[in-house]
Amino acid sequence: MRNYKPVVTILLTVVLSAAGCSKKQDAGKAESAPVAVVKGLSLETVKSVAVPELLDVVGSVRARTSAVVSTRIPGSINVLRVREGDRVKKGQVLAQLDAQENQATAAVATAAIDEARRGVDEALSRKKLADTTFDRYNNLLTEQAVSRQEFDVKQSEKDVAAQGAARAESRLKQAQEGAKAATTMSGYTRIIAPISGVVVSKQADLGATVFPGQPLMTIEDDGSYQLELALPESVATKVKAGSPLQVTLDAVGSSFAARIAEIVPTADPASRTFVAKIALNQKGLKSGMFGRGAISLGTTVNGITVPKKAVVDRGALTIVWTVDKENIARMRIVKVGRESGERVEILSGLSEGDRVVVTGAEKVTEAAKVE
């Protein structure tokens, strides 16, 4: 063992010397790496400000005028002239039902009118004859050429003929009304558009058997839409018709100030919400689109806002660049809230007193020196 001690000592000395040289080389490289310097940035010191307290609610775009088309009589669809997306006009025939019973009833009612009209003509002829005979017997009675009994018989015949004519006229009117009802029922075989608009859905196809009250299709007037928002009942006394709000429609990329036009006075017992309606006049709207509303509750809370251009999106992250006391740039992941004009609320990630980069954020890198 004594013979190996000098060799071990020499090896340890070589290893330690090599490690020391390596550390010196790494330190030299670190000292020689230049620090990035960024100039021309504008900074803003974060301050806590009063932010209006807003209620965020969601809803859907609906047509202000819509109609569910259904049938009033049973039958099968033998003609179908529209499909989803077609534009129709009020009074346009949409479909035709095969309802032979109703058509046969209408034909019978029309024939009944002709029969009743002939009955009226016959009753009027009898009445005319009875009136003429009565006038003749009245003259004969004055001349005492007939007995009083014979005169009374002719007078009775005249009255009976008058009543017969009245009954015949009543039957004719009844037949006419019955024919009108039968014709109306027969007309129900033609499905007519109640409003002008666009067919947005169709629940029955060609050849299908339908029954009274069964929906066939839905038509919406695409000339006017409204946003229906679900308001929680907790704010029912705070939000009224005419209350201002900020509306956002993501599908058409629109955000604008508006006012509530109407609030439905009854709540949905399932969701415990009221419906608030806001008139819309944007183009490209479709029924069912998603919409959001931010309603001011008339109070304020302390919050932090920064200019929108200070916020940077990097993939799934939202960040801002801050500058510490040593003027070193640091990246902060933040959670943003509502936008108000050119500023955006920061819900988390920043504190009062932080300095954020407002302009020139695209030039900033982590740990860069800011001058």
Give CA–CA dist 6/269, Å, rounded. Answer: 93
Residue 156 main-chain phi, psi, to 5 deg: -65, -40
267 residue type, one letter:
A
Do residues 69 and 215 make contact, with C-beta atoms less than 8 angstroms apart?
yes
Structural tokens at position 76: 């099968």
Fold adopted by 37-53+303-370: 2.40.420
pLDDT top residue among 30 and 350: 350
Q: Give me the pLDDT at residue 321, please.
A: 92
Handedness of CA 61, 67, 71, 77 (dihedral sign): negative
CATH T-level fold of 55-64+223-300: Elongation Factor Tu (Ef-tu); domain 3 (2.40.30)
Token representation of residue 231: 């308001």
Q: Residue 137, class by beta-carbon neighbours within 10 Å (0-12 exposed, 13-18 middle, 19+ buried)?
A: buried
Greatest alpha-carbon pair distance for the chain in Å reads 184
- DSSP strand E in 89-176: where? 93-98
Mean pLDDT value of segment 222-241: 88
Q: Which residue has the tokens 């907790």?
A: 234
Instruction: Give the pLDDT of residue 99.
Output: 66
State residue 102's pLDDT score: 63
Strands 48-63, 369-370: parallel, antiparallel or unpaired by DSSP? unpaired
What's the CA gap between 276 and 258, in Å, rounded? 12
In this structure, the number of other CB atoms found within 10 A of the CB of residue 116 comes to 20
3-state secondary structure of 29: helix
Instruction: Tell me what pLDDT residue 216 has.
Output: 93
Q: What is the mean pLDDT of the chain?
A: 83
17-45 tens-digit pLDDT:
444 445 445 444 445 456 788 888 899 99
Strand, coil or helix: what is 161? helix
Q: Which fold has domain 67-98+194-222?
A: OB fold (Dihydrolipoamide Acetyltransferase, E2P) (2.40.50)
Alpha-carbon distance 178 to 268, whole Å?
45
pLDDT at 217 exceeding the cut of 90: yes
Residue type, 154: K
Give the pLDDT of residue 340. Answer: 75
Q: Give pLDDT tens digits for 262-304.
A: 999 888 888 889 999 999 988 888 888 999 998 887 777 788 8
Q: Which pair of tokens denotes residue 332?
A: 């902060």
317: β partners: 314
Give the domain ranges of the chain. 37-53+303-370, 55-64+223-300, 67-98+194-222, 100-187
The residues, ordered by sequence, that sit 6+ positions from 66 with a Cβ below 8 Å of its Cβ are 195, 197, 200, 218, 219, 220, 221, 287
pLDDT, residue 249, reads 92
User: Taking Cα atoms as reference points, which of 347, 351, 87 lies closest to residue 195?
Assistant: 87
Distance CA 333, CA 44 (A): 17
Pairing of strands 48-63, 290-307: antiparallel
172-209 confidence digits (pLDDT tens): 888 788 777 767 677 778 899 999 999 999 998 988 88
Distance CA(3)–CA(11), nearest Å, equals 14
pLDDT at 127 over 70: yes
Are 55-64+223-300 and 67-98+194-222 the same fold in CATH?
Answer: no
Contact assessment for residue 219 and residue 200, using Cβ atoms and an 8 Å cutoff: yes
